[in-house]
Amino acid sequence: MKTNPNNCNSGPWRKLMPIALVVTLLSSCNPDEPIIIPADNTGTNRKLVLFRYENYNSTYKVNKLGTSIGDLVDEGILPEWKYATGVEAGRKWLVLHDDDKEFRIRKVYSNGALGDITCNQKWNSNYETLVGFHVGDKGFIFGQDSYDRKWFIQQIMPDGVFGMDISMPWRDSILMAIPISMVLPPNKVDF
């Protein structure tokens, strides 16, 4: 039987998924708290921005972020949403989720300003836990519905649309997920 590299149930992805889950689990964003769009600050061209959303008036602000909050980069109005996470898949994306099972993806420009909505979908569940991560050059979101304990991993494609996903029930309900990037010792390929 030939292995399909795009099938998440076969090949190296099967081994990487548990690692990605362990490393990624567990972070949720509350709209009352700032959201940091993840970035790898190791390169000289890489910068962080702080995305903030004020639920009471549906406004957002994006500031440069270093050892303090810097200059305003962008501001505007967004329809009400409750959860968000940043994802890197070819470029930066902001994934938003409201309490009405609505998900949308917005482009984030290199200066941190928000761009257009590239994808908008209505899903079967609300996911109170939502976190973005990437494996290699592929971006993903992890989410869990705390009521039915169903979790999912959904790929974010480089053109800002949802790609393949995997989901299943879990015995525990997760309040937060925090992605942690690990550097393994030389010659070590697994935890």
Number of domains in the chain: 1
**Is the model's pLDDT at 57 over the cut of 80?**
yes
Question: Residues 75-97: pLDDT tens digits?
Answer: 999 877 788 899 999 889 999 98
Q: 3-class SS at 62?
A: strand
Whether residue 97 is contained in a domain is answered as yes
Give the predicted TM-score (pTM) of the model. 0.68
Q: In the predicted model, what is the mean pLDDT of residues 136-162?
A: 87
Whether the CB-CB separation of 62 and 111 falls below 8 Å is answered with no
Whether residue 36 is contained in a domain is answered as yes
Question: Within its chain, how far is the Cα of 154 from the centroid?
Answer: 9
Whether residue 176 is contained in a domain is answered as no
Q: If we measure between CA atoms, which residue out of 114, 103, 150 comes closest to residue 35?
A: 114
Residue 45 token pair: 């061209």
Whether residue 100 is contained in a domain is answered as yes
Whether residue 64 is contained in a domain is answered as yes
In single-letter form, the type of residue at position 90 comes to: G
Residue 19 token pair: 């690692």
Please give the Cα distance from 19 to 22 (Å, whole number): 5
Whether residue 188 is contained in a domain is answered as no
**H/E stretch holding 53:** strand 48-54
Q: What is the DSSP string of 113-162?
A: -EEEEEEEEE-SS--SEEEEEEETTEEEEEEE-TTT-EEEEEEE-TTSSE
Expressed as residue numbers, the domain containing 116 is: 11-169
Looking at residue 44, its pLDDT comes to 53
Whether residue 178 is contained in a domain is answered as no
Whether residue 191 is contained in a domain is answered as no
- The domain that contains 23 carries what CATH number? 2.130.10.10
